[in-house]
Chain A
């Protein structure tokens, strides 16, 4: 049987735009049907915005690439209507083990906090992730949403103008010109769009190579994350073993800098390496093998007039910490509601500059974390190796050293502290985790959860406080969600949103981030907060 990543999911079809006398102007064009381009397209289409995705390929990601998805992106995917199939298919895990040389030095349990609908992490092949998103696109199309994927449409040139963008697109039947009011470039780490616009991508390349292999095996290994420093089967290097659905296992083997990549990738060289790791008697089959050199880089700005960059095109991180696709979805989560308001004339274009500011803040946090993990895993000097090994040796005996072991700090969403869209915190001694700029933490509501009730539009969350059911300010509408601490017997809602206060009112953005909060409703204050959150103050 063919693998899902070998089947064209959006085969080339001729578009009427290719036969138009003058170039057709579309509302939003997205380059790239990777997870981030698909995420952006679904988000916009759900809001009724016409969107066309162009991809030079016609299939999902070749091989798995991303495997680990964190809670926040799953919550975003819920809003996009594809969280459930991810969680249904994905593998949940909580236990991690750390090995040094030939021994286990300790294990840990992620101990995810209770009272969240979604797990801390799931593992799932990237091709399934993309397939579920393509399914969602088909579902939206069937419901009449203005969304289209054009396979084997390769963008060859981009022209920028004050109020639109022109694209030269190549197809199996020749080239055509397309125009877009707005262009979102989600064309991956090697972003041709970036190159076409002559934009820099600055950062660090880590002088190391990693063999990434997905193997299919009926193995006894438990559903845990196993990380080896300096194991006997890969001396002086590191290794990772992680489970995916369908008996597929992800294996990362660090190879060092001076290697012949083509040679190392050949099955006759890969298989003996894996046998050393897994044992001679384990039967396995290679699904996909690749060799990567990791980098941590970002663009100086993500917005260039009418062109907006998102996902790997805008920033790239080493995969320790699973921050690539996870953070890319936070980009489009941040961008799409802003773009919709701007396109509807309900917010000034400058609101899009806050996308730049907030997501650069996120990218820098991810780059910092990924760089630190990479530095721990692949020490760059004799002394950094000595210190690293000292941490590992101590971690076997003393718990104090375990927080210093860094085999990846797993992705968490960032708080947009200092964002111009935030209003000053006016909830005295309110919980720090829900201060303005924070992503709303989930909370249980009986059999239900809080987050599915938020999102897509501005919400006024009142907890034991009075407020009007809705109000409008300058074209932007806010709808009230009235709750009481009594709605949650576990008191998590109180702990996460009230602290010691008896009541609270939150203004929550369409991307489920807090814009403002106070103990009670004050119309003038919340109108100002809404203006500020939409770039009008």
Chain B
């Protein structure tokens, strides 16, 4: 696996994915949504596994220059 975080388009059917993400939160109260997001982050992070990529992802998401 590459040690480099992908920040270019990489999801087939981006609109479908985004709709699925919103649907997952539909009808949830704020605390339930927060919990879902937290679980999702952890599931995805484990799938990526690569520590270097995870650090780059944290940095990228922080949007700090």
Question: Which residues of A approach B to under 8 Å, CB–CB?
Answer: 383, 386-387, 389-391, 393-394, 398, 400-401, 404
CB neighbors of A among B1-55 (8 A): 31, 34-35, 38-39, 41-43, 46
The reply to whether B39 and A390 contact each other, CB–CB distance below 8 Å, is yes
B35 contacts A393, C-beta separation under 8 Å: yes
Contact-size category for B: under 10
Residues of chain A contacted by B42 (CB below 8 angstroms): 387, 390-391, 394, 401, 404
Task: Say yes or no: A389 contacts B46, CB within 8 Å.
Answer: no
Q: Whose C-beta in chain B lies nearest to the C-beta of A391?
A: B42
Q: A389-B38, A390-B42, A393-B39 are in contact. List 11 more A-B contacts (CB 8 A).
A: A383-B34, A386-B31, A386-B34, A389-B35, A390-B35, A393-B35, A394-B39, A398-B43, A400-B43, A401-B42, A404-B42
Assembly CA distance A401 to B44 (angstroms): 11
Q: Which residues of B contact A389 (CB under 8 A)?
A: 35, 38
With both chains docked as a complex, state the minimum distance between the C-beta of A406 and any C-beta of chain B, in angstroms: 14
A389 vs B37: C-alpha distance when bound (angstroms)? 12
Assembled-state Cα–Cα distance A383/B31 (Å): 11
Distance in angstroms from B56 CB to nearest chain A CB is 19
Smallest CB gap from A393: residue in B: B39
**27 chain-A/chain-B pairs, Cβ below 8 angstroms:** A383-B34, A386-B31, A386-B34, A386-B35, A386-B38, A387-B38, A387-B41, A387-B42, A389-B35, A389-B38, A390-B35, A390-B38, A390-B39, A390-B41, A390-B42, A391-B42, A393-B35, A393-B39, A394-B39, A394-B42, A394-B43, A398-B43, A400-B43, A400-B46, A401-B42, A401-B46, A404-B42
Which A residues touch B34, using CB under 8 A? 383, 386
**In the complex, which residues of chain B have a beta carbon less than 8 angstroms from the beta carbon of A386?**
31, 34-35, 38
Residues of B near A387 (CB, < 8 A) are: 38, 41-42
Report the Cα distance A494→B43, complex, angstroms: 39
A404 to B46, CA, bound (A): 10
> In the complex, A32→B41 CA distance in Å?
49
Q: Measured between C-beta atoms, what is the minimum distance from A438 to chain B in Å? A: 24
A401, B38: Cα distance in complex, Å: 12
User: CA A387 – CA B35 in complex, angstroms?
Assistant: 7
Tell me, in angstroms, the Cα distance from A37 to B41 when the chains sit together.
48
